């Protein structure tokens, strides 16, 4: 009876062991992590625990803060730089517009310059750019001869310089009569070159003169000459050179 009991017990244990898979190892379960206790006075804050309107307000506040920081640190500087560039661009466009307007008027300017040059060429005989005593004397003698006047004196006076021209007076001594003097003044008024006759002094002659003249005529004929601006600076070095050339022999001695 005992042998039968032992055999039945051993067979049941063997059957129980044979049911358990041999390849499956036995593992020890890890204990679950314990929740750390929170410190006293620390609130458990989470947006998900807030109501929807509070979450919306927090989102709006954060968005406004980010937008303000972006505007203050980035957008404002960019707008200032953009304003400066816009002013420069407007200035450049204005200069381009003025240049284009001037370029459109360039043909008119050239035409006007050509007209002024033609007028200047036409005025040169009236207002010459140089003094020619011999030519002026010949012209006055021609006018006087055509008017039956005798030229007894022709003496240039001091020149009076103006802004763009010079006045050149010339003292004249003539012989003739009233009729001849009138013809002379009429011819001078029609002369191409500007000649003003003034300071007339008429002296009657008793003997009639060598050519039957009835009076002596003293007058001042003033003509005009176109002059350039004086350049006194160019003369000073020449004077300095002359002075050094004169002093050099004294140094050698």
Residue 40 has pLDDT above 50, yes or no: no
Per-residue confidence band for 82, with pLDDT thresholds at 50, 70 and 90: confident
Question: Residue 111's pLDDT is what?
Answer: 92
Question: Residue 248's pLDDT is what?
Answer: 45
Residue 121: CB atoms within 10 A of its CB come to 9
Question: Residue 96's pLDDT is what?
Answer: 92
Tens digit of pLDDT for each residue in 94-116?
999 988 888 888 899 899 999 98
Question: Residue 41's pLDDT is what?
Answer: 45
Lowest-pLDDT range of 170-174, 187-191, 206-210, 232-236? 232-236
Residue 235 tokens, joined:
């003369």
Residue 126 tokens, joined:
């009236």
Residue 92 has pLDDT above 90, yes or no: yes
Residue 198 has pLDDT above 70, yes or no: yes
Averaged pLDDT for residues 213-230: 77
Alpha helices in 71-132 (DSSP H): 76-123
């Amino acid at each position: 009876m005992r042998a039968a009991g032992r055999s039945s017990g051993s067979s049941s244990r063997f059957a129980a062991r044979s049911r358990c898979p041999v390849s499956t190892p036995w593992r020890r379960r890890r204990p679950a992590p314990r929740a750390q206790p929170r410190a006293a006075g620390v609130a458990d804050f989470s947006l998900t625990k807030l109501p929807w309107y509070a979450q919306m307000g927090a989102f709006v506040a954060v968005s406004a803060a980010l937008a303000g920081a972006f505007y203050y640190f980035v957008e404002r500087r960019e707008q200032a730089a953009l304003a400066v560039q816009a002013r420069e661009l407007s200035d450049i466009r204005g200069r381009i517009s003025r240049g284009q307007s001037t370029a459109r008027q360039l043909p008119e300017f050239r035409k006007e310059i050509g007209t002024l040059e033609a007028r200047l060429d036409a005025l040169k005989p009236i207002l010459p750019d140089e003094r020619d005593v011999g030519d002026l004397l010949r012209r006055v003698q021609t006018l006087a001869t055509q008017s039956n006047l005798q030229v007894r004196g022709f003496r240039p006076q001091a020149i009076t310089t103006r802004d763009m021209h010079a006045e050149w007076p010339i003292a004249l001594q003539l012989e003739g009569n009233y009729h001849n003097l009138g013809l002379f003044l009429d011819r001078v008024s029609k002369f191409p070159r500007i000649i003003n006759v003034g300071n007339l002094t008429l002296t009657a002659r008793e003997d009639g003169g060598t050519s039957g003249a009835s009076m002596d005529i003293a007058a001042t004929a003033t003509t005009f000459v176109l002059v350039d601006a004086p350049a006194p600076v160019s003369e000073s070095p020449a004077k300095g050179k002359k002075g050094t050339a004169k002093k050099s022999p004294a140094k050698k001695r």
